[in-house]
Structure 1
Amino acid sequence: MSRVPRGEDSNACKDDTYPTQSTKYVHELYNHRCFSPLTSSLKALAGLFNSTVECFEFVQLGRNFEKDFQTSQLKLDNARLRLSRWGKSLGLNDNIQDTQSLGTYFRADEDIKQAESLLGQIIELFADAEGVSNKFKSRKRSDDTSLMTYSPQTDLEPAIADLHFKMRQLSIARQNRSGLREKAKWALYEEKHFRRLIEDITELVNSLVELFPASEELQRRLCANEVSMLGENEKLSELKDIATAQDKFLADALTGSSEHVGGSYNIVFSGDHNSGLQIAHNIGTMSNTFNKGT
């Protein structure tokens, strides 16, 4: 056995187990063996992740949603945010180079194939929903009012619009923006199809999260950052209700945040001569006990 010649490619993997062959052939074999499979698979997965998150950008909701439009838009935004968080926790939003560190999560090629399958199914859900939308439109006149759509930019209540904008920006920031497509928007006109879409996406993202349990801690930290970015908002309780059904990590983070802000405090002043001024800011319950010794 002899070593691989190093004159032509100093970056070739060093191994003493291959017989001497043409330098070009051996270098190609080594590069494929040591770098290509994982790197190529991860790049493909990252591209698929990017395309899947991007699907949410093109969906509009029809006027038939009426009073449920506000909540439905938040459900769509939360589903997108959750998927973007999953990809961010695995480093799929970055330029895939450091495969050694990514090996913490991607221990088997089968995991990558399973993730690709799940992301592909989400893309298929959007494609199917768009097909249903096109069939609905084909049965209507072009001036039919049932084809009118809402615009998140103009039709959301201010507090919900703020949540929508912030969740959208968080999701976009987690995408690799280099390969985004130009695509026409399309609308979901019937709530029953929207509900099914959200339910199916939630189940598939559940499977993605369960596939890489080592990333759970980072996802929870990302949730804490999301809550901080969302800030104080009168509609956070509504978002929390939505997250309880489709995004446990965010629901837990919102619950922890509200408990921290609205906690209970007990202040005891002991002794017989208490005087002076106490200045503080409190949200939640507070009880005071005066003139009682300890």
Structure 2
Amino acid sequence: MADINNPPLAWAPNSSAARRARGPTKAAHGSLDTYRGHDETCTQLLELFNISQDNQASMSLVGSRPPPNLDTLPSAYSVAAQCFEQVHYEERVSSNFAQGMLKFHHLHLRLTRWGAALGLDTVDPNTDVRSLAASHPMRKVKWSRENVKTATEGLDSIQELFKDFDKRHDRNTRPGVALADLDTKTRARTEVRLCCAMSAIAIQRRASLLSNHGANILLRETKESAVLIENMTGVIDVLIKSFPHLDDAQASLAQHETSKFLQCGVDFDDLSRFRDGGANQDHLLHNALVEELIKQKTGDAKVVWNIHSYNYGIQTSHIAGGTFRWNSPSD
């Protein structure tokens, strides 16, 4: 796997290695050297995708030849995230389907958390990635041909899964209602509240709305819906692993999600329902939620994590400032 943060060095007077050794140079606005004093990401991107050093001095960042896949990553992310927003439901969600609905919106949350950690949440879908300012979070990402390719293919797969599901959709069924319009008297009101919270957070992590987002689809208690959720889980698992060094950034974002959930009135009962619907695929959010809920209840409690067990549970026998043990899924 090629790593642009450790490119092969070819020591020559005009090589990139020699230029880096000499330090930043002055150049006209818009050239690569303009940004070299801040960060070498742009130079490394050009090296990775075999753009010659001789052409770099006169090449403008905006409008220059885009490297394979990298220039399409922002638009692929926006399309994939927007697909989740097209889903409608029957007006009253059955209690049997509530967990499936919870898993679905949890996938949306995981996707956009990954996108935000990568810096895609503030990038216009039509932006040339190399035109971003050096202060943008994307400059800190360890880009390589392989992880860019894997991520782009994963995002495209999400769109294809939705398209395939739409083709199988029974057009004779009622069009359904949006998540926010679901009947609040349904027995699944806890799940609906959690889904609304996850959807609101996820939508904020998409830079802009694309015009060609397609028609709405109806997700309900069918075999096709279950297959969609299962396949989508596998795709997003692979997508998140395409940039493994983003774990810390995603953990920080999960902490932010926790505060949003608490604003929606999430309690221990809500957490238990959410755990059953998505704990196996998202220990980051669970860890953040449990720590915050225990702190809210005790004021100052120590949380001990067991990350090698699938035996979920919370021990509350020492509720007054004691030590709590929470079993979290292994990676």
- Normalising to structure 2: TM-score of the pair? 0.63
- The corresponding residue for 1:233 is 266
- The corresponding residue for 1:185 is 216
Deviation (angstroms), 1:57:
1.0
Amino acid at match of 2:115: G
CA distance in 2, matches of 1:262, 1:50: 38
Pairing partner for 2:110 from 82, 89, 92: 82
Q: Which has the larger radius of gyration?
A: 1
- 1:7-64 deviation digits (Å, cap 9, x = unpaired): x9654346xxxxxxxxxxx768842799846678544201110100100111123579
CA distance in 1, matches of 2:65, 2:233: 30
- The corresponding residue for 1:130 is 166
CA distance in 1, matches of 2:220, 2:277: 21
Pairing partner for 1:50 from 67, 73, 78: 78
- The corresponding residue for 1:69 is 97
CA distance in 2, matches of 1:264, 1:102: 37
Is 1:114 the counterpart of 2:150 in the alignment? yes
Structure 2: 5+ residue stretches without partners: 1-12, 15-26, 34-53, 124-128, 302-316, 322-331
Change (3 A) 1:107 1:46: same
Change (3 A) 1:59 1:197: same
- 1:185-240 deviation digits (Å, cap 9, x = unpaired): 12134532222211221111111221111111110110111011110324232112
- 1:96-127 deviation digits (Å, cap 9, x = unpaired): 41368524324213321111011111111111
- The corresponding residue for 2:319 is 285
CA distance in 2, matches of 1:99, 1:265: 40
Is 1:94 the counterpart of 2:122 in the alignment? yes
Aligned with 1:175: secondary structure?
A: coil
Change (3 A) 1:37 1:243: farther
Please give the root-mean-square deviation of Cα atoms over the aligned residues, in Å: 3.7
CA distance in 2, matches of 1:165, 1:120: 25
Is 1:220 the counterpart of 2:220 in the alignment? no
> In the alignment, is the contact (CA less than 8 A) between 1:75 and 1:242 conserved in 2?
yes
- 1:119-164 deviation digits (Å, cap 9, x = unpaired): 111111111111111xx33xxxx4xxx6474553132454433322
CA distance in 2, matches of 1:12, 1:151: 47
Structure 1: 5+ residue stretches without partners: 3-7, 15-25, 267-282, 288-294
> In the alignment, is the contact (CA less than 8 A) between 1:262 and 1:284 conserved in 2?
no
Aligned with 1:121: secondary structure?
A: helix
Change (3 A) 1:39 1:179: farther
Is 1:173 the counterpart of 2:204 in the alignment? yes
- The corresponding residue for 1:248 is 283
Aligned length: 247
Identity %: 23
